[in-house]
Amino acid sequence: MSQPSDHRNARPTVGSALWWYLWSVVALAVAVIAISLSGLHGGDVAALVRRPAFWLVAAPMAVTAFRPVVPKGRGGDGTFALVVFLFALLLHVGLPAAVFLCTITMLIRGLLFRQAIHRNLFNVGQHVLTLGAAWLVLRSFSIDPSPLHPWMFSEPHIRVSELLAAGLAGLAYLVVNNGSVYAAIAVMEHRSLVAIVREDGRHLAVVGVAMVSLSPLVLVVMVHLWPLVPLFYPALVSLYHNATLSVAREHDALHDSLTGLGNRELLHREASRALELMRGHDNGVAVLVLDLDRFKAVNDTLGHAGGDRLLQIVAERLRAQLRPDDVVARLGGDEFVVVLHGIADLAVARITAVRLLDRVNGPCQIDGTSIDLTASLGVALAPDHGVDFDALLRRADRAMYVAKASGCGVALFDPQRDMTPAQSSAALLEHLPIVENAS
C-alpha cells in the first residue's frame, strides 16, 4: 500500500477546505517573507557572509534538508535535524537571515525531490511561519537580533528571562511546525486534530524537543568557539543513522518482505482508519479479497522461486491500478486484500472489482515459461455489509470462495445467503450472490 503521507502529493480540489488551508498558510508565509526580507540590508548580508560560523551552520542545514529522515508518525517532512541549526541561526542573527536561508533551502529541496508544487510551497510556508512564531516570542522579551547586532546569552551569568525566552520560542517553534502539518492532515482526512496528535504527537514531540534543546549549545559555540561547530556533525550523523534504521525496522514490521505490500497489521490499521473516515460521508469502503487460481500447480512446476515471482507480479499489477490512498496488502500465501475508498454502492463495487481483476489476470513470463495468470475475487462493502473491518474481511473472503467455486471471477457477499468456506461447492453454487464475469 501507499504510505499514509503519499496522498499529500495529490492536488487538493480547488475551493475545498484543504485547498483554502494550504494556500492560506502559503499566503501568510509570503507576507512573513516580504516583511522579514525588507529588513535585510546590504550591510547585514555582508556581515553574515563574513562570519565563518554562518557557513558552518548553513552547510549542515542544507545537508539535513536534502537528506531527510521520516521517523515514525506522519507529522513534519523529515527535516528534523534542520531544526538544530535553523533555530540557532534565528536566535543569533534574527528572522530575516533565517527566513532567507530556510526559503531557499526548502524550495531547492522540493524541486530535487519532485514534490508537487502545492506541497513544496506548503513546506516552505510551514517553516517560515514556524520561524515567525518563534521570533514573535523573542520580540516579546525584547530580543530582536540581526547580522550586524547578533544576540547571545548574557555573560558571565545567563538571565532567567533569556532562558525563558529561548525555551518559549523553541516551544512555539515545535507547536507551529508540527501543528500546521497535523491541521492539514485533519482537514484532508476529515478527522479530529486531537485524535491525530494522539496518534503521532508523542514521538515527534520527543524528537523535536531534543533538536531544539541542542540549538542554544550551537549558539554558544558559534559565538565563542566557532571552529568547534563541526563537532556537532557526528552527533547528527548518528541521529540520521539511528533514525534511518528505526524507519527501516518499522517498515519491515509492517510490510511483506517478498512483495513489499503491507502486512496484516498495516492492513488492519489503515482499513480501520478508512472505515472511520467513511462515517458521515455518502460513499462507502470496499474490501476485496483476491486469491490466485492454481497457485499450487505453479509452485509444483516452477518451484518456490517461480511461485514467489508470480506473487511479485500480482503485487506489481495491483499497485499499478490503485490510487495513492487505497490499501493493498498480502495476508500470506497467495491471498491479497485491497481496500478501496469512495465506493458509492454495490454496483460501483462490482464494476470496480471486475476491472481490477481484469488488470490482474493475463499472461506472464516466469523463467521463460508462459503462465496464464487468473484469480478469484470476493467483495464486501461498508456500510452495506457492516462497518467492522474484521467482519468485512471475513465476508469478502467468503465471497471469494464463491467466485472460486463457481469460476465466475468476481462475487459480492450476499448477507441474505451468508455462507462459510466449509460448505460444499454444490451448496455454494446453489446460493450464488450477484456476480460478474471478469473475462
Reduce the DSSP state of residue 37 to 3 states and report it: helix
HSE toward the beta carbon, residue 229, CA cutoff 13 A = 25
From CA 403, how far away is CA 385, in angstroms rounded?
A: 18
- Span 329-383, pLDDT tens digits: 998 899 999 999 888 888 998 999 999 999 999 999 888 888 899 999 999 999 9
- For residue 72, the model assigns a pLDDT of 45
pLDDT band at 421 (very low <50, low <70, confident <90, very high): very low
Asked whether the predicted pLDDT for residue 79 surpasses 60, the reply is no
- Higher-pLDDT residue of 423 and 324 is 324
Comparing 63-77, 302-316, 404-418, the range with the smallest average pLDDT is 63-77
Instruction: Calculate the dihedral angle through the C-alpha atoms of 252, 255, 260, 262, rounding to the nearest 10 degrees.
Output: -160
pTM value?
A: 0.66
Asked whether the predicted pLDDT for residue 139 surpasses 80, the reply is yes
From CA 202, how far away is CA 220, in angstroms rounded?
A: 29
Reduce the DSSP state of residue 380 to 3 states and report it: strand
- For residue 279, the model assigns a pLDDT of 76
pLDDT band at 138 (very low <50, low <70, confident <90, very high): very high
- For residue 204, the model assigns a pLDDT of 66
- For residue 201, the model assigns a pLDDT of 65
- For residue 434, the model assigns a pLDDT of 39
SS3 sequence, 131-170? Answer: HHHHHHHHHHCCCCCCCCCCCCCCCCCCCHHHHHHHHHHH
HSE toward the beta carbon, residue 342, CA cutoff 13 A = 6
Domains assigned to the chain:
4-254 (no CATH), 264-437 (3.30.70.270)
The pLDDT of 18-47, averaged and rounded, is 89
From CA 43, how far away is CA 214, in angstroms rounded?
A: 29
What is the CA 439 to chain-centroid distance, rounded? 36
C-alpha cell at 293: 487460481
- For residue 430, the model assigns a pLDDT of 41
Residue (of 231, 290, 232) closest to 261 by Cα position: 290
- For residue 3, the model assigns a pLDDT of 41
Report whether 371 contacts 364 (CB < 8 A). Answer: yes
pLDDT band at 399 (very low <50, low <70, confident <90, very high): very high
Asked whether the predicted pLDDT for residue 60 surpasses 80, the reply is no
Q: What value does the mean pLDDT of the chain take?
A: 83
Give me the sign of the Cα torsion angle 407, 411, 415, 419.
positive
First to last CA, the chain: 26
Report whether 4 contacts 189 (CB < 8 A). Answer: no
Residue (of 166, 126, 132) closest to 26 by Cα position: 126
- For residue 252, the model assigns a pLDDT of 86
- Report the DSSP beta bridge partners of residue 286: 340, 381
